[in-house]
A and B are shown apart, each in its own frame.
Chain A
Amino acid sequence: MDIAQNILLTIMTAATPLLIAAIGELVVERSGVLNLGVEGMMVIGAVCGFAATLLSGSPWIGMLAAIAAGAFFSLLFGVLTLSLAANQVATGLSLTLLGLGLSGMIGESFVGSAGIKLANLDIPVLGDIPLVGRLIFGQDPIFYISLILTGGVAWFLFRTRAGLTLRAIGDNHASAHALGINVLKIRYLAVMFGGACAGLAGAHLSLVYTPQWVENMTAGRGWIALALVVFASWRPWRVLGGAYLFGAVSIGQLHAQALGFGIPSQFLSALPYVATIVVLVIISRDRRLTLMNTPASLGQPFVPDR
Chain B
Amino acid sequence: MDTNHTEIPLLETRGLTKIFGSLRACDGIDLAIAPGEVHALLGENGAGKSTLVKMLFGVLEPSAGEILWKGAPVKIGSPGEARATGVGMVFQHFSLFEALTVAENIALALDGKVPIERISDEARRLSVEYGLPLDPSAHVADLSVGERQRIEIVRALLQNPELIILDEPTSVLTPQEADKLFETLAKLKAEGRSVLYISHRLEEVQRICDRATVLRHGKVTGACDPRNETPSSLARMMVGGEVPEISGAGLGEPGEVLIEVHRLSAPARTPFAVALTDVDLTVRAGEVIAIAGVAGNGQSELFDVLSGEVTVAHADSIRIAGVAAGRLGITARRLMGCSFVPEERHGHAAVPTMSLSGNLVLSRYASDRKTFITGGWLGLINTGPVATATKRISSAMDVRKSLVDPPAGSLSGGNLQKFIVGRELDRQPRVLVVNQPTWGVDAGAASRIRQALVDLAKSGSAVIVISQDLDEVFEIASSISVINEGRLSKPEPAATMTRERIGLLMGGFHDGAGHGVDPAEVAHAH
Contact = CB atoms under 8 A, between A and B. Distances in A.
B365 interface: no
A170 B386 CA distance: 44
**Main DSSP-derived SS at the A contact region:** helix
Interface string B117-153: 0000000000000000000000101000000000000
A11 B389 CA distance: 69
A288 B270 CA distance: 8
A5 interface: no
A269 to B, nearest CB: 37
Contact of A171 (B79, B83, B98, B112): B98
B274 to A, nearest CB: 14
A300 interface: no
Interface in B58-103: 58-61, 78-81, 83, 91, 94-100
Interface stretch (A69-77, A139-147, A173-181, A194-202): A173-181
B108 A291 contact: no
B107 interface: yes
Given A167-B100, A168-B100, A172-B98, A178 B271 contact: no
A161 interface: yes
A164 B107 CA distance: 9
Given A168-B97, A171-B99, A291-B270, A306 B61 contact: yes
A171 B271 contact: no
Contacts, number: 65
A288 B271 contact: yes
Interface in A149-177: 161, 164-165, 167-168, 171-172, 174-177
B101 to A, nearest CB: 10
- Interface size bracket, A side: 20 to 34
Nearest to B83: A180
B107 A180 contact: no
A287 B270 contact: yes
A178 B97 contact: no
A4 interface: no
A293 interface: yes
B95 A167 contact: no
Pick from A180, A181, A287, A296 the residue with the most CB of B within 10 Å: A180
A175 B139 contact: no
A292 B270 CA distance: 11
Nearest to A289: B271
Contacts of B472: none
Contacts of B98: 171-172, 296
Contacts of B109: 179
A2 interface: no
A291 B141 CA distance: 10
Interface in B182-235: none
Given A161-B107, A288-B271, A305-B60, A179 B95 contact: yes
A165 B110 CA distance: 11
A180 B81 CA distance: 9
Nearest to A293: B99
A236 B91 CA distance: 34
A306 B141 CA distance: 29
A145 B102 CA distance: 34
Interface of A: 161, 164-165, 167-168, 171-172, 174-181, 287-288, 291-294, 296, 305-306
Which are the 5 A-B pairs with shortest beta-carbon distances?
Answer: A175-B95, A180-B80, A180-B79, A288-B271, A171-B97
6 contacts: A161-B116, A178-B91, A179-B109, A180-B58, A180-B83, A305-B60
Given A168-B104, A177-B59, A292-B99, 14 more contacts: A167-B99, A167-B100, A168-B97, A172-B96, A174-B95, A175-B94, A179-B108, A180-B58, A180-B80, A180-B83, A291-B271, A291-B272, A305-B60, A306-B60
